[in-house]
């Protein structure tokens, strides 16, 4: 693959590979690998690696990261609700849209037969390549960059779309639920603060904090949750979810010391 194509793919993924071989393997379909093996002569033949094993690993990484994020993001969901939501997020029907948005078909190494049969647009080929790329990122840089790509490219956009379109999420209006919970506890309503706005106009990221102040000291925060989203609304909802989880998990008699949500970061 040409250097500019690697760079274009890295830009789309938001990740720069340290080892070119691992991403080249992730993009190599079995048809291309077998074709290269057939062209080798005599005793010098050696196995050409394809992306099938990487696809197996990437599938597991995707399931783990998705499960963990849904577990953290929706603490009030039952096991069946979490399983249903995970099944949708990791489904071929959803992943093909991600692969198409990233234009993965453009980067694939295909054998001549697969190329002629339209392999660059086949759902199975593209989804397998996407999962192989997730494994390549994991092997090249570890779990955190793989997690970041999964959350940014696969999970967060779909959850936001479902919320906008009134999808099947059991509860998406965390701000209203938080307001009712605080009223029931006799606590003041929180403040939502936009702390950062980054990225190009067509792909902005908004960082919002939700701050719950103690009743007698408006200058001190009992809890600060921080979240990011492609809109201020989705970031506020995720921050409200963190505060709601905090309120439902703590003893009501607990002191009002400073706490931060799972998505927060120190200033």
Query: Which residues are the active-site residues?
Result: 59, 131
Q: In this structure, which long-range contacts are made by residues 107-111, counting pairs with CB atoms below 8 Å and at least 24 apart in sequence?
A: 107/1, 107/5, 107/9, 107/27, 108/27, 108/29, 109/1, 109/24, 109/27, 109/28, 109/29, 109/32, 110/29, 110/31, 110/32, 111/29, 111/31, 111/32, 111/34, 111/35
Closest C-alpha among 169, 122, 145, 125 to residue 61: 145
Strand, coil or helix: 195:
strand
Which residues touch 11 (CB under 8 Å, ≥6 apart)?
none
Strand partners, 226: 209
């Amino acid at each position: 693959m040409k250097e500019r194509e690697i760079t274009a793919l890295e830009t789309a993924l938001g990740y720069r590979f340290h080892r070119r071989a691992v991403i080249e393997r992730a993009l190599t379909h079995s048809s291309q690998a077998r074709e290269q093996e057939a062209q080798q002569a005599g005793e010098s033949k050696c196995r050409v690696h394809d992306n099938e094993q990487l696809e197996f690993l990437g599938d597991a990484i995707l399931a783990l990261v998705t499960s963990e994020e849904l577990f953290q993001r929706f603490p009030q969901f039952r096991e069946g609700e979490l399983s249903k939501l995970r099944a949708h997020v990791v489904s071929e029907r959803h992943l093909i849209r991600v692969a198409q948005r990233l234009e993965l078909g453009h980067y694939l190494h295909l054998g001549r037969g697969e190329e002629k049969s339209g392999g660059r647009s086949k759902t199975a080929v593209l989804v397998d390549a996407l999962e192989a790329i997730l494994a390549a990122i994991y092997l090249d840089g570890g779990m955190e960059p793989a997690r970041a790509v999964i959350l940014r490219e696969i999970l967060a956009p779909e959850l936001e779309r479902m919320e906008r379109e009134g999808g099947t999420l059991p509860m998406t209006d965390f701000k209203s639920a938080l307001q009712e919970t605080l009223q029931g506890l006799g606590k003041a309503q929180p403040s939502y603060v936009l702390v950062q706005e980054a990225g190009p106009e067509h792909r902005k990221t908004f960082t919002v904090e939700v701050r719950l102040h103690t009743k007698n000291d408006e200058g001190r925060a009992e809890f600060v949750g921080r979240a990011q989203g492609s809109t201020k609304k989705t970031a506020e909802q995720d921050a409200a979810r963190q505060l709601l989880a905090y309120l439902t998990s703590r003893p009501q008699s607990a002191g009002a010391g400073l706490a931060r949500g799972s998505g927060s970061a120190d200033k």
